[in-house]
Amino acid sequence: MTLLPTIRTPHDLRRLSPEQLPILAQEIRDAICGQVALSGGHLAPNLGVVELSIALHYVFDFSFDRLLFDVGHQCYPHKLLTGRLALLPGLRTRAGMAGFPEPRESEYDLFSVGHAGTGISTAVGMARGDVLTKEAFDPRTNPAGRRIVTLIGDASIVNGVAMEGLNNAGTLKRQFLVVLNDNGMSISKPQGALAHYFDKVRLSHVYADIKKSAKEALAQLPGGAHIKDALHRATEATKAAVGDGNWFEHFGLLTVGPFDGHDLPGLISVLREARDIERPMVLHVKTIKGKGYGFSEADSSRFHSPSPFKVEGGLTDEGCRVEVKSEGRSFTSAFGEALVNLMERDPKVVACTAAMPDGTGLNKVLPRFPDRAWDVGICESHALDMMAGLAKTGYKPFFAVYSTFLQRAFDQAFQEASLQGLPVRLCLDRAGLVGGDGAVHHGFCDVSLLRVLPGAAITAAIDEPSLIAALEFMRTYESGLSSVRYPRDNVIERFKDCPPFVLGKARLLSPPLDDETPDAAVLAFGTPAFTALSAAESLRTHMRIAVYDARFAKPLDLPLIRHLLSSRVPIITIEDHGLIGGFGAAVLEAAQEMGLDTSLITRLGLPDRWIYQDSRSKQLAEVGLDESGIASALRAVCMSHAEKQVLLK
Active-site positions read: 289, 380, 408
DSSP 375-387: E--S-HHHHHHHH
Residue type present at position 423? P
21 and 54 Cβ atoms separated by less than 8 Å: yes
Sequence-separated contacts (24+) of 16-20 with Cβ below 8 Å: 18/264, 18/265, 18/268
For residue 282, give the nearest of 181, 384, 426 by alpha carbon.
181
Rounded Cα distance, 75 and 50, in Å: 9
Q: What are phi and psi of 312, to 5 degrees?
A: -95, 115
CA 142 to chain centre: 39
21, containing H or E segment:
helix 21-39
33 and 47 Cβ atoms separated by less than 8 Å: yes
Cα–Cα distances (Å) from 382 to 78, 195, 354, 401, 407, in that order, read 32, 16, 9, 12, 13
The set of residues, in sequence order, having a beta carbon less than 8 Å from that of 514 and lying 6+ positions away, is none
Q: Do strands 176-182 and 148-153 pair parallel, antiparallel, or not at all (unpaired)?
A: parallel
Rounded Cα distance, 377 and 114, in Å: 16
367 burial level (CB within 10 Å; 0-12, 13-18, 19+): exposed
605 and 584 Cβ atoms separated by less than 8 Å: yes
Rounded Cα distance, 330 and 217, in Å: 53
Total residues found in the chain within this entry = 649
14 burial level (CB within 10 Å; 0-12, 13-18, 19+): exposed
Other C-beta atoms within 10 Å of 345: how many? 10
Q: Do strands 396-402 and 425-429 pair parallel, antiparallel, or not at all (unpaired)?
A: parallel
191 and 414 Cβ atoms separated by less than 8 Å: no
